[in-house]
Amino acid sequence: MVFSSTAQAFQVAVVSHKPLASIERLVQATAEQTGARVSSVVWDKAIDWKIYDAVVLAGPKAVELWQSAGTPAVAVFVSRIVTEQAKTKLASAVYIEPPLSRQIALAKAILGNDRSMGILAQNAQSLSLARFAGQPLSALNVTPYFVDQYDSLNRALVDLLKKNQALIGVYDLELFSSSNIKNILITAYRQNKPLIGPSSAYIKAGALATTYSDLDDVARRLSQILLTGVKEGVWPAADYNPYFHVRYNEQVGRSQNLVLPQEAQLRQMISELEATP
C-alpha cells in the first residue's frame, strides 16, 4: 500500500552506525510508501536531530548510540530484548524476530496439531520475553525446556528430543549461536526431529522452516508507524511485525518425508489466525 498521495512531506533520518546497502533500500522503500523526505545518516553526535520529524534507528548499535530526547525515534532490525532495554528513549519499534506464537502456528500447520513439541530456551525469563499470545503452552501440547535447569545444553536438547516430535527455537543469538547450532541440528537430525526457526538465517544450516520479515515487510510496517506517529501524533507501541513470509528448507523436508504446505497459503492462514480476536 502506498501512502504518498495522502501524506504531506516530512523529514525522516534512517540512522546507522556505518553505511549499509540494506539501509539505502529501506530508505527508498520508506520514502515511496510515506511520501516523506527520507535520508540515510551515519550516526554523529554533532548532528542537529531536531531538523527531522522522526529518526529511524537501524540496528542495536544505532539504538545504543542514540541520545537525543527531542526527536521521536523508531527502532528497526532490533530484538525485543534490545527494545525493552532502550524503551525510555524510543517512541516505537519493530522487532526483528517473529513472535513465538507464530512459530508454534507454523510448526502445527506443517506437522499437525497432535504432535508434541518442545521449546529450547536459556531460562524462564528469556521465554517470557519471547511472549506468546492466547492459550498457555500446555494447551498447545508444547513444553519449554530450560538449559539452566540441566547440566548442559546437550542434556536439555536430548531430553527435549526424546519426548517430542519437533524442536522450536526462540530468537536467542547466544543459545542458537554459530558454535551451538551445528550440534543442535546434528542431534535433532539423528533423531529425525525437525527444527522450526528461530529465524531465516538457520534455514540454510538445516532448520526445516521459519517465518521471517524481509526488508519490504519492515518498510511496510515502518511506514505505517511513521505516518501514524508524525501525522497523527500517536506512536504505535513497539511490537512484532505483522507482515511476514514463510521459508522452507526443501531438502530437509524431503529427508523427513514431509509434504510441505504452499508458503503463500500458510502465510495467509497464520495471518488470519493472528487477526482473530
Q: Residue 135: pLDDT band by 50, 70, 90 thresholds?
A: low
Looking at the predicted structure, is the pLDDT value of residue 16 above 50? yes
What confidence score (pLDDT) does residue 134 get?
A: 54
Mean pLDDT of 92-106: 94
Question: For the chain, what are the domain ranges?
Answer: 11-95+215-231, 100-211+245-275
Secondary structure of residue 210 in the 3-state scheme: strand
Residue 9: the pLDDT is 85
Q: What is the pLDDT of residue 128?
A: 67
Reported as a pLDDT band with limits 50, 70 and 90, residue 5 is: very low
Above 50 in pLDDT, residue 7? Answer: no
Mean per-residue pLDDT for 122-145?
75
Q: What superfamily would CATH give domain 11-95+215-231?
A: Response regulator (3.40.50.2300)
pTM of the model: 0.91
Alpha helices in 55-196 (DSSP H): 60-65, 80-85, 100-111, 124-130, 153-163, 178-190
| pLDDT greater than 50 at residue 8 | yes
> Which residues, in sequence order, are CB contacts of 77 under 8 Å at separation 6+?
58, 59, 60, 96, 218
pLDDT of 6 higher than 50 = no
Give the dihedral sign, CA 167/171/176/181: positive
Rounded CA-CA distance 6/2 in Å is 9
Which whole number is the average pLDDT over 59-84?
94
The predicted model gives 19-37 an average pLDDT of 96
Residue 166, beta-bridge partner list? 117
Residue 130 has a pLDDT of 54
More confident residue, 223 or 5: 223
Q: Can you tell me the distance from the alpha carbon of 137 to that of 128, in angstroms, rounded to the nearest whole number? A: 12
Tell me what the mean pLDDT of segment 54-78 comes to.
Answer: 94
Give, in degrees to the nearest 5, the angle at Cα 81 between 78 and 87: 80
Judged against a pLDDT cut of 50, whether residue 2 lies above it is answered with no
Q: Please state, rounded to an integer, the average pLDDT across all residues of the chain.
A: 91
Query: What pairs with residue 245 in β-bridges?
Result: 212
Q: Do the first three CATH levels of 11-95+215-231 and 100-211+245-275 match, i.e. the same topology? A: yes
Least confident of 132-141, 177-186, 208-217, 258-267: 132-141
> Which of the four pLDDT bands, split at 50, 70 and 90, describes residue 276?
confident
Measured between alpha carbons, how far is 247 from 266 in angstroms, rounded to an integer? 10
Return the CATH superfamily for domain 100-211+245-275: Response regulator (3.40.50.2300)
